[in-house]
Amino acid sequence: MPSRRFTPPGPLKGRLRVPGDKSISHRALMFAGLAVGTSRITGLLEGEDVLATAAAMRAFGARIERRNDGVWEVDGAGAGSLLQPRGALEMGNSGTSTRLLMGLVASYDISVVFTGDASLSRRPMDRVIEPLRMMGASFEASPGGTLPLMLRGAAPAVPISYTLPVASAQVKSAVLLAGLNTPGITSVIEPVATRDHTERMLAGFGAPIETDDAAGVRIISLRGEADLSPCDVTVPGDPSSAAFFIVAALIVPGSDLVIENVGLNPTRAGLIAVLREMGGRIEEIDAREVGGEPVADLRVSHSALTGIEIDPALAPSMIDEFPVLFVAAAMAEGTTRTSGLEELRVKESDRLATMAQALKLAGAKVTEREDGLTIIGTGGEPLSGTPAGASVETRLDHRIAMAMAIAGLASKDGVAIDDTAPIATSFPTFADLLERAAAST
Ligand code: S3P
């Protein structure tokens, strides 16, 4: 367990690039792994979660190699031709790998055992088991619908029309991926829009998929048993990783930082809107499109932030950014109130409880409610930091570790993190980039 204290640096300056988007990287490997022919992926996130997806796709018969120039080359197994893996699939910390792959294999005549680390083994899988059972797959899960679990796929599976009971892109994607090898039309009805990378990228790989937006409800329909054509994918920088540097530059005095190539898909960009409303100076430069996704460079400078009431309707478009938003709130003038965030309790950790405890230990004023946190900010005064000998518990959650590292930059005595190892699941270069930004004054 590598523990570490993050202390106040000088201002963050210069330019940096965060690694590729995690959600897009998973999907690129999965769809390229199904296509017949060679796809090339540029800018793939080489974090542990995405590598778990790569290992699983190899076990299903795809050839996946990293070239010396950093481009990943994938020869797909062919839609309809996934192989029975020889052993259990070890998913590590990755909920996205697990839930999307459960969908992907649910319409094949194979049995797959999924296992994961202690954090993943606590997370609910019923949300994907339920619709996949309706399609014909069967499951033997651990108590509470958790990993380890065994899935027995159904071929042919039955197409369904499924209304999402929770706003979850993972559940939406699992059903659509099961639909790929299912005869007929599989559709998902989405009362609240969630990230749409699956829909965008499946269309790029030639799948017959359509989205209909009527009266605020999205209906996504996919015709199954179609071949996927190989596609070259360029993965934009991950806005969820950029979030840590955006907040860092806003709260560390004197900072003026450019973060290049940040994905700004509207279903992911809620944090930027919220931080601007709080008074954050975030400028978009050179807005463009990369790999079918909107992208820009962001110039972020130190700003006086003001607490606000955050509209719960924004939650799906910033669902992974709340830990670091709570840090920004702890440095703002006045009160920030969040609500409608029950989903945060079933992420890599219970992010409401873990962040409330972590921020309090670092000297912030936080009240935890069932569906959100209320935070009274310091108005820019540094937090006291964690007391000598005490450290923040990250509970196998990469985003808690990084959010609290950023809190350390805006504290008097620094914030000690009990375990930085989980950061490698999504952002292996986090600490190096932070040091570089602090050094380039
Ligand atoms: C993801 C969807 C979100 C998000 C996760 C990645 C995806 O999860 O929290 O980090 O790639 O589809 P939910 O679908 O559970 O909200």
pLDDT digits (tens, 9 = 90+) for 286-316: 999 998 899 999 999 999 999 999 999 999 9
Please state the atom number of ligand 1 nearest to the C-alpha of residue 23. 11
Ligand 1, CB within 6 Å, residue ranges: 23, 96, 168-170, 173, 195, 319-320, 343
Same domain for 128 and 250, yes or no, is: no
Same domain for 219 and 160, yes or no, is: yes
Please state the atom number of ligand 1 nearest to the C-alpha of residue 171. 14
pLDDT of residue 214: 85
Q: What does the block give as tokens for 430?
A: 């986090």
Same domain for 152 and 101, yes or no, is: yes
How many A from CA of 194 to the centre of ligand 1? Answer: 9
Which portions of the chain are predicted below pLDDT 50? none
Same domain for 155 and 283, yes or no, is: no
Q: What is the pLDDT of residues 217-256, one digit of tens each?
A: 999 999 999 999 999 999 999 999 999 999 999 999 999 9
Pocket-testing residue among 27, 96, 345, ligand 1, by greatest number of atoms within 8 A of Cβ: 96
How many A from CA of 203 to the centre of ligand 1? Answer: 20
Same domain for 355 and 432, yes or no, is: yes
Last residue of a domain, one of 200, 230, 260: 230
Pocket-testing residue among 25, 125, 171, 195, ligand 1, by greatest number of atoms within 8 A of Cβ: 195
Same domain for 262 and 220, yes or no, is: no
Q: Is 49 a catalytic residue?
A: no
pLDDT of residue 215: 82
Same domain for 186 and 291, yes or no, is: no
Residue 440 in contact with residue 255, Cβ under 8 Å? no
**Longest distance between any two alpha carbons in the chain, whole Å:** 62
pTM for this entry: 0.98
Give residue for tokens 């027995």: 152
Same domain for 166 and 144, yes or no, is: yes
How many A from CA of 173 to the centre of ligand 1? Answer: 10
pLDDT of residue 441: 60
Same domain for 77 and 160, yes or no, is: yes
Cα–Cα distance list, 78 to 63, 81, 247, 343, 412 (Å): 11, 5, 43, 35, 56
> What CATH number is associated with residue 312?
3.65.10.10
Same domain for 12 and 27, yes or no, is: no
Q: Active site residue: 320, 397, 413, 418, which one? A: 320
Last residue of a domain, one of 181, 202, 230: 230
In the chain, the number of structural domains is 2
Same domain for 309 and 185, yes or no, is: no
How many A from CA of 413 to the centre of ligand 1? Answer: 34
Q: What is the residue range of 360's domain?
A: 4-19+236-439
Same domain for 321 and 423, yes or no, is: yes
Last residue of a domain, one of 213, 230, 247: 230
